[in-house]
Each structure stands twice: as structure tokens, then as C-alpha cells.
């Protein structure tokens, strides 16, 4: 059975979507822990209510990023995970951390990568005048928001959109594609060939939504 550890910093709505999918679809997997760098993260209460072990490690108690990441690795590894899922974990991770979990560390980014890496992606999309925006699930590498892409979801951008309305539309699709990507990993359907993610048997890795 696949062991999954999920990292959050706040509410963790993508974590909620993954937990619900795992339970509703009876995944052959166990969410071994939900860990937050903020002890007051609302998502910890959701995890507790679903019988999932929780832990927190306050990054503010460490002198630097490397020290925090080293302790975080120890905490994560105590749950013996096969997969680590970043679900709104608002920390830039060190190369040592990323390399330790190479090939088993997933993240979701609110843009159609490689467009708009970093923060304020919805504002960036509106400023650029794109007609399509979305989200990407990808493996994490040392290059920020540039790891091999597993699945993307696109949404239309309308003339009256604000960053908030666009974010809401994108988030709905995130809650669809992130559980799908995790399930593919669990089912051993993912392989990586020269930075390209392949799904076997083949399945669309792009979800196109017309949701308004």
C-alpha cells in the first residue's frame, strides 16, 4: 500500500480533495500524515477529523531554511512515505530536500507552466492578456516551478475577470487534476523520459474546462 505524506501551510483545499478522493474511491494507499509548517493551519483540523495523523514544524523556530528542511526531512521520513505531496505548502525548498525526494515529490502550481512561474500567477495572466489560464501538477526539481509536468487543466479567461474570479475557476480544476495525478502515481502509471511525463496506458494529460 502506497504511503503518502501531504504538506500544507493553511487550509489545504487540495489536501482535502485528495483525502476525499482516496476515501471515496478506496485507493490502495494510506495518507500517513498531514504536516504543516504552521501549527495553526486550518487543514490540520480537517485531517484530524478524518482520522489522519497530523504534525507541525514551525519554520519560525529555525535559524535558516536548511536547518528547517533537514528537520522536516526527518519528520516526513518517520512516516516512511512513497510519495510526498505539496498542497499549498508555502515554503521554498532547499536543493537537499528536493533531491532527497527526487521522483516522489509532487506540487501543483496555479498556471499553465512554463507560463507564469512564481507568485501572483492570476495577476500575471490578466496583465499578459492571455485567453487561457490554468493549473499544472508537476514533479518538483531544484528549478522553481519547472519540474516534469504530469497533468494540466485549462480554463478560459473572460473580459470581466479579476484575479479572484480567475483564481476561483482555476482552483475548481486543481481539485480535479491533483487527485488524478496522485492516483496515477499510486497505480504505477507514471514514467519520466527526458523531463517528459508519460502515462501508461495513455490518458489525456490536459483537462479543458469551459466553466464560467
Grid coordinates given for 152: 494540466
- Alpha-carbon span 98 to 114, nearest angstrom: 19
Active site residues: 109
Going by DSSP bridges, is the β-strand pair 29-36/2-8 parallel, antiparallel, or unpaired? parallel
The sign of the torsion formed by the CA atoms of 38, 43, 47, 49 equals positive
Contact 157, 165 (CB under 8 A): no
* Beta strand spans in the chain (E): 2-8, 29-36, 54-56, 83-86, 105-109, 132-139, 149-156, 190-193, 196-199, 206-208
3 state DSSP class of 13:
helix
Contact 12, 46 (CB under 8 A): yes
Rounded to a whole number, what is the distance in angstroms from the first to the last CA of the chain? Answer: 38
- Alpha-carbon span 13 to 19, nearest angstrom: 10
3 state DSSP class of 170:
helix
Amino acid at each position: 500500500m502506497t504511503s503518502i505524506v501531504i504538506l500544507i501551510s493553511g487550509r489545504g483545499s487540495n489536501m482535502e480533495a485528495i483525502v476525499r478522493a482516496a476515501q471515496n474511491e478506496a485507493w490502495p494507499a494510506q495518507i500517513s500524515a498531514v504536516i504543516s509548517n504552521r501549527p495553526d493551519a486550518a487543514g490540520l483540523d480537517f485531517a484530524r477529523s478524518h482520522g489522519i495523523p497530523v504534525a507541525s514544524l514551525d519554520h519560525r523556530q529555525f535559524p535558516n531554511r536548511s536547518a528547517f528542511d533537514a528537520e522536516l526531512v526527518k519528520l516526513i521520513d518517520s512516516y516512511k512515505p512513497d510519495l510526498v505531496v505539496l498542497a499549498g505548502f508555502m515554503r521554498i525548498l532547499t536543493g537537499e530536500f528536493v533531491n532527497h525526494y527526487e521522483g516522489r515529490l509532487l506540487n501543483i502550481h496555479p498556471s499553465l507552466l512554463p507560463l507564469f512561474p512564481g507568485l501572483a500567477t492570476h495577476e500575471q495572466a490578466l496583465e499578459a492578456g492571455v485567453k487561457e489560464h490554468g493549473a499544472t501538477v508537476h514533479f518538483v526539481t531544484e528549478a522553481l516551478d519547472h519540474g516534469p509536468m504530469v497533468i494540466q487543466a485549462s480554463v478560459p479567461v473572460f473580459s470581466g475577470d479579476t484575479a479572484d474570479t480567475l483564481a476561483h475557476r482555476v482552483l475548481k480544476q486543481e481539485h480535479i487534476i491533483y487527485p488524478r495525478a496522485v492516483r496515477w502515481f499510486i497505480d504505477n502509471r507514471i514514467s519520466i523520459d527526458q523531463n517528459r511525463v508519460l502515462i501508461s496506458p495513455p490518458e489525456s494529460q490536459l483537462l479543458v474546462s469551459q466553466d464560467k
